[in-house]
Amino acid sequence: MYGLIAIGISLTWASIGMLNLAQGFIFTAGGYTAWLYAQYAEGWGLEGVGLSAGVLVFGMLGSALAGLFVGAIAFLPLQDRDNFRTRSLIATLAISLIGTQLWLILFGPQNKPLPPVFGEGRIEIGPAGMSYQQLGTIIVAVVMLALVILWMRSSRRGLQMRAMMMNPLGAAVVGVSVRSTGMRVLAISGALTGLSSVLLAQVFFVSPTSGVQPLTTGLIISLAGGLGSIPGTVAAAGLIGLAEALTARYLQQSLVPFVLFAIVVLILIFRPRGLGGLLEDVRE
């Protein structure tokens, strides 16, 4: 699920040159939006598919709106100024820090659980088994990733986004609006982060600081995969996920961050642009 966040980070960097450190704030916004919907829906007696679908949709919607909010503060006012990357980096970091305190004031320090989206139970396949939550999470994540890739390759708006990723100046010359396309990118990356928030909340809880760990892991994956490369990010997500699972199982959970950072360092030593990174001078 961290791969969805990493893809959002990579898309934002490749298309508008902004490293979005407010992704954790966006993650938490989606979790709390889904939780609020669940509270009202359960109060109305809604359950089953309606409740589950609503939790997913409202989680993505809340994070998409949070992405637009970040864009209105850290992208639109700064996009045409000098040192945009540094300015936007500081702005998104400020949003992240202030946002954590905002969530604490609005919702308190208590963890908020989300209802099971995919039901309870297990599927047994020979000696192995998988819970409905695990299976549903994998299916939804893969389908959403496939839809995003298909949209980017076949739709007019998606092609504009790809043009921005390849050559922002050239895209602007042929009439692609940098500002509107950038806001669209932030909304899409926010929706992906919101989906990740809902899926991860099936295992963890929603809290004011619940976006810190996903942001850190998402940055690790996007750096290892190469900022701007979706195939590289997907490959890095699989590698990082496998390393995290094996480390937690055979070593110690506390060693997971050290192992993940060591993997990133090794990848960047031998492949400085990541597993599939785009050439940085394309953006210059």
**Beta 128-131 vs 122-125: how paired, if at all?**
antiparallel
Rounded to whole angstroms, the Cα distance separating 55 from 183 reads 24
266, burial (CB in 10 Å: exposed 0-12, middle 13-18, buried 19+): exposed
pLDDT at res. 267? 87
Residue tagged 């509107």 (tokens): 180
pLDDT at res. 206? 92
Residue-wise burial string across 61-77, b where 16 or more C-beta atoms lie within 10 A, e elsewhere: bbbbbbbbbbbebbbee
Tens of pLDDT along the chain (284 residues) come to 788 898 899 889 888 889 999 999 999 999 999 999 999 888 887 777 788 889 999 999 999 999 999 999 999 999 888 888 899 999 999 999 999 999 999 999 999 988 888 877 777 776 666 777 878 888 888 888 888 888 888 888 888 887 877 777 777 778 788 888 889 999 999 999 999 999 988 888 899 999 998 998 898 888 888 877 778 888 888 888 888 888 888 888 888 888 888 888 888 888 888 887 654 443 44
pLDDT at res. 66? 96
pLDDT at res. 279? 42
pLDDT at res. 280? 47
Tell me the C-alpha to C-alpha distance, in Å, between residue 99 and each of 26, 38, 94, 218, 219. 9, 22, 8, 18, 19
Rounded to whole angstroms, the Cα distance separating 284 from 166 reads 11
Domain locations in the chain as residue ranges: 2-208
Q: What is the pTM of this model?
A: 0.88
pLDDT at res. 52? 86
